[in-house]
């Protein structure tokens, strides 16, 4: 793996540049390409709500600049597929199916995030056991997978820390979940920010995910761009090579306070330190590509 072209495509999340989740993604396509990226991640909820002409405009921009488009989302509580309320579950299933169809029409074939529950989510007051929620989520996801398979869209279950969701906090839990769902279109998404909180070993978690690992998010322990902090990058990239991971490696830095993004991601101080967002993204992209060679 030494020298030459990186073994994986490297991407960035559009919200690195925005204060709010709703955005016109097209300008970020050319921006991502200019800074050295191969992939741009957009918000799948926004894609599903686009006017008839917008999906083609976004798809054409990706093709024109040679940028692969993927998507991400954290479901709001009203779409919780694990809810004890049947109407809420059915609403969530319908919403995820709608997203699968909309993404396919836009030429997007991967979506990751908290799609198995709501975000940020915790057990309701008075509840202490998650197995019933787990079982309902698995059953709901099996329904979603019928449409996902028909549309050719892969759903990546993002493993997040206990302070953001209760369903799955480790790679081992995620593997158990996707095995129970039993669809080739249901895979695991690991994120270094969350792994740093929950896993005993980065290498161990990546090896546990193994063939089920479909997508990877990366960032420093404080949400800065890769290469600025104390994250164990050598261990992480070595483990990805050991399992012959072929998917994308997408950075999710969040540096700006303010707006919906700053509020929801809990960025309450400016982490830019006077740096240009574009220059910092380009530096981080080069850092990751060197590490993946």
- Domain assignments of the chain as residue spans, ordered by start: 10-292
**pLDDT surpassing 60 at residue 268:** yes
> Which of these is catalytic: 68, 158, 199, 220?
158
| 16-44 pLDDT, tens digit each | 999 999 999 999 999 999 999 999 999 99
Return all residues near 17 (Cβ < 8 A) that are at least 6 apart: 28, 31, 277
Confidence of residue 4 (pLDDT cuts 50, 70, 90): low
CA-based nearest residue to 198, from 242, 235, 164: 164
Prediction pTM value: 0.96
Return all residues near 101 (Cβ < 8 A) that are at least 6 apart: 147, 151
Looking at residue 1, its pLDDT comes to: 43
The 8 Å CB, 24+ separation contacts for 23-31 are 25/58, 25/61, 26/57, 26/58, 26/61, 29/58, 29/61, 29/62, 29/64, 29/65, 29/67, 29/69, 30/61, 30/65, 31/278
The reply to whether 220 belongs to the active site is no
Q: What percent of the chain lies above the pLDDT cut of 90?
A: 97
Confidence of residue 3 (pLDDT cuts 50, 70, 90): low
The domain made up of 10-292 has a fold known as TIM Barrel (3.20.20)
Report the largest interatomic distance among the alpha carbons of the chain, rounded to a whole angstrom: 56
> Which of these is catalytic: 68, 199, 220, 252?
252
* Residue carrying the six token digits 């999710």: 252
Looking at residue 7, its pLDDT comes to: 84
Confidence of residue 6 (pLDDT cuts 50, 70, 90): confident
Residue 10: CB atoms within 10 A of its CB come to 24
The reply to whether 158 belongs to the active site is yes
| 143-201 pLDDT, tens digit each | 999 999 999 999 999 999 999 999 999 999 999 999 999 999 999 999 999 999 999 99
């Amino acid at each position: 793996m030494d020298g030459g072209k990186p073994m994986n495509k490297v991407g960035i999340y559009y919200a690195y540049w925005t204060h709010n989740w709703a955005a016109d993604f097209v300008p970020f396509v050319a921006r991502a390409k200019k800074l050295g990226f191969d992939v741009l991640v957009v918000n799948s909820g926004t894609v599903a709500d686009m006017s008839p002409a917008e999906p083609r405009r976004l798809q054409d921009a990706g093709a024109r600049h040679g940028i692969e488009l993927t998507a991400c989302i954290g479901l709001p509580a009203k779409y919780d597929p694990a809810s004890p309320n049947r109407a809420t579950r059915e609403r969530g299933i319908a919403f995820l199916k709608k997203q699968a169809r909309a993404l396919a029409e836009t030429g997007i074939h991967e979506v990751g995030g908290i799609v198995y529950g709501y975000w940020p989510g915790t057990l309701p007051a008075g509840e202490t056991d998650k197995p019933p929620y787990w079982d309902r989520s698995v059953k709901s996801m099996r329904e979603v997978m019928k449409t996902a398979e028909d549309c050719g869209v892969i759903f990546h279950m993002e493993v997040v820390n206990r302070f953001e969701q209760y369903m799955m906090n480790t790679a081992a839990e995620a593997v158990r979940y996707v095995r129970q769902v039993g669809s080739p279109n249901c895979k695991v998404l690991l994120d270094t920010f969350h792994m740093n909180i929950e896993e005993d070993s980065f290498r161990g978690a990546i090896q546990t995910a193994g063939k089920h690992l479909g997508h990877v998010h990366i960032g420093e322990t404080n949400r800065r761009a890769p290469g600025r902090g104390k994250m164990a990058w050598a261990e992480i990239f070595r483990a990805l090579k050991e399992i012959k991971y072929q998917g994308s490696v997408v950075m999710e830095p969040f540096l700006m306070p303010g707006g919906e993004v700053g509020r929801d991601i809990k960025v309450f101080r400016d982490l830019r330190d006077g740096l240009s967002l574009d220059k910092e993204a380009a530096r981080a992209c080069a850092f990751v590509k060197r590490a993946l060679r």
